[in-house]
């Protein structure tokens, strides 16, 4: 956090090629309206015990205005992702997730650079399950949400 009380934008550390990637731990909260806090950490495709769930969700409008807080910094995400994560953060343990909008440095992607993580390898080799988040009524503001757990095939 800066001296004036605002949060700084999260700065992505480089990944070690060829198989390192980021995962997040979505911290628990007592109420669904509480701010979303995450831990961001690097993992490696060669480490078999790092199981997580991948979150698939609609990107919706590209407005990045909803904050995830990490160690005095923030990562801004879309409304759809914010709502999906709110549905997932439980009162108990943190949730270990791979979410492309947070785990892949989107700024590097826009510049033509890419993180060393390979989406296909991550989903095929490391994901225990995929959580599919969808909105029933797109663009209405009156979103009906659902989470489906899809077992890995």
Tell me the residue range of the domain where 90 lies: 8-151
Is residue 75 included in any domain, yes or no?
yes
Is residue 69 included in any domain, yes or no?
yes
3-state SS class at 102: helix
Is residue 1 included in any domain, yes or no?
no
Instruction: Tell me how far apart the alpha carbons of residues 39 and 102 are, in angstroms, rounded to a whole number.
Output: 11
Element (H, E) at 115: none
Maximum pairwise Cα distance, the chain:
49
Is residue 111 included in any domain, yes or no?
yes
Is residue 2 included in any domain, yes or no?
no
Q: What is the pLDDT confidence band of residue 59, given thresholds at 50, 70 and 90?
A: confident
Query: 5-45 pLDDT, tens per residue?
Result: 678 999 999 888 777 889 999 999 888 889 999 999 998 87
Q: If you average pLDDT over residues 90-104, what whole number do you get?
A: 86
φ, ψ (nearest 5 deg) of residue 88: -90, -20
**Within 10 Å of residue 38's Cβ, how many Cβ atoms?**
24
Is residue 100 included in any domain, yes or no?
yes
Q: Three-state secondary structure along 30-64? A: CCCCCCEEEEEEEEECCCCCCCEEEEECCCCCCCC
pTM: 0.76
Structural domain count of the chain: 1
Is residue 3 included in any domain, yes or no?
no
Of all residues in the chain, the percent with pLDDT exceeding 70 is 67
Comparing C-alpha atoms, which of 56, 81, 88 is closest to residue 67? Answer: 81
């Amino acid at each position: 956090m800066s001296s004036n009380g605002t949060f700084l934008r999260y700065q992505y550390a480089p990944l070690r090629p060829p198989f390192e990637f980021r995962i997040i731990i979505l911290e628990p909260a007592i109420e669904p309206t509480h701010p979303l806090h995450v831990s961001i950490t690097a993992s490696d495709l060669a480490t078999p015990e790092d199981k997580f769930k991948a979150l698939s969700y609609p990107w919706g409008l590209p407005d990045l205005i909803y904050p995830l807080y990490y160690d005095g910094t923030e990562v801004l995400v879309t409304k759809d992702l914010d709502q999906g994560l709110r549905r997932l953060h439980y009162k108990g343990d943190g949730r270990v997730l791979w979410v492309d909008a947070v785990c892949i440095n989107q700024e590097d992607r826009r510049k033509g650079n890419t993180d060393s993580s390979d989406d296909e390898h991550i989903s095929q080799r490391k994901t225990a399950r995929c959580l599919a988040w969808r909105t029933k009524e797109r663009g209405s503001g009156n979103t009906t949400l659902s989470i489906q757990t899809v077992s890995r095939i």
